[in-house]
Amino acid sequence: MRDEPAVSLLFKAVAMLTLVVLLLPVVIVVLAGLNAGDYLTFPPKGLSLRWVVAFLGSATFMSAYIYSFVLALVATLISTVIGTLASLYLSRSRSGAAAALRGFFMLPVVLPGVVLGLALYIFYVATDIGLSRTFAGLLIGHVLVTCPFVIATVTASMVGFDLSLEEAARSLGASPWTAFRKITLRLIAPGISAGAIFAFIVSFGQFETTLFLTVPNHEPLPMAMYISLRYKFEPTAAAAGIFAIALVALSTVVSSRLVSLRRVFRA
């Protein structure tokens, strides 16, 4: 009984099927972006870089890619700063308020993205504070949906953190700020980097929250691809997808080196 494999054949077969369901659409996007024909057909027409070249010169998709990149960068910067500060509080305070706040900061993730986007849109229009359909208004939405990921990752990375290290530095004469900078910050830096990477990916691929907040004629990449998919299939969009897939795959590999992925995703 001990020499049989830990996982039965049936489970292995279904697990493989699940991996196919997860990965096949991604593989197809890559193939569609690299195919030689006007449309990915069966049997395929062969490989070419024509759509990649078309993407690099495309006014729609290249500018959408850059727009999404800048938006994600700024949103990440803001949510990493405010999220890390909040995490320091959340992981050190023992008060009931901290536990409640932790739950509060996770809410944007569980709220349907369309509802969050609409709530912000209504708020911008009702208050007339000039944020409706602007970059700043969209940015606020993206900070809200990315901040929970920073907080989850940074607090998770502080689980093993030994506060006595900081106290030791203090007792050896370091100022609080020096002790924080030289000990704490160094030790939690991988967690912060991983949180920032998650935030970036979430913002870069964000569609639902963006729906009601997009600036006219300045669509982020997911929105530009959505419009293209609704009305016509352009292999250029698939070529843009290849660059987005590469970005996400690279980021996940880097973040897996920085923190325990299991701990962050509670798996």
Partner 1 sequence: MSETAGRTLLRRPAFSVAEAFGGFRLWWLVLPAFLFFLAFFLVPLVSLLAISFNKTVPGVMTLTTAFTLDNFERIFTRSIYYMSILRSIGIGIVVAAIALVLGYPLAFLIAKTEHPGRNTLLMILVLSSMQLDMVIRMYGLMVLMGDTGLINSALIWSGLIHEPLPLMYNTFGVVVGLVQVTLPFMVLSLIGIIRAIHPSLEEAARSLGATRGEAFRQIVLPLSMPGILAGSLLVFALSISSYVVPALMGGWKVVVLPIHIYQQIAESGRWQFGAAVAAVLFVTSLIAVFVYHRAAVWTSGGRT
Within 110-139, the residues that bind partner 1 by CB under 8 A are 110-116, 118-123, 125-126
Interacting positions 208-267 with partner 1 (CB under 8 A): 208, 211-212, 221-222, 225-226, 229-230, 233, 237-238, 241, 244-245, 248-249, 251-253, 256, 261-267
Q: Which amino acid is at 54?
A: A
- How many other CB atoms sit within 10 Å of the CB of residue 121? 18
* Least distance in angstroms from the C-beta of 180 to partner 1: 9
Instruction: Out of 1, 46, 173, 217, name the contact with partner 1 by CB under 8 A.
Output: 1
Show Cβ contacts of residue 169 under 8 Å, excluding neighbours closer than 6 positions: 178, 179, 182, 183
10 binds partner 1 (CB under 8 A): yes
Question: What is the phi/psi pair of residue 218, to 5°?
Answer: -130, 70
| Minimum distance of partner 1 from residue 49's CB (angstroms) | 19
Q: Please report, as residue ranges, which positions from 63 to 82 form the binding site for partner 1 (by CB under 8 A).
A: 81-82
Distance between CA 231 and CA 128 in Å, rounded? 33
Distance CA(21)–CA(152), nearest Å, equals 28
The separation between CA 71 and the C-alpha centre of its own chain, rounded to angstroms, equals 12
The residue (of 56 and 109) whose beta carbon lies closer to partner 1 is: 109
Residue choice 64, 72, 75, 143 for contact with partner 1 (CB under 8 A): 143
| Residues numbered 91-110 forming contacts with partner 1, rule: CB under 8 A | 91-94, 97-99, 101-102, 104-110
| 3-state DSSP of 144-159 | HHHHHHHHHHHHHHCC
49 versus 250: smaller Cβ distance to partner 1: 250
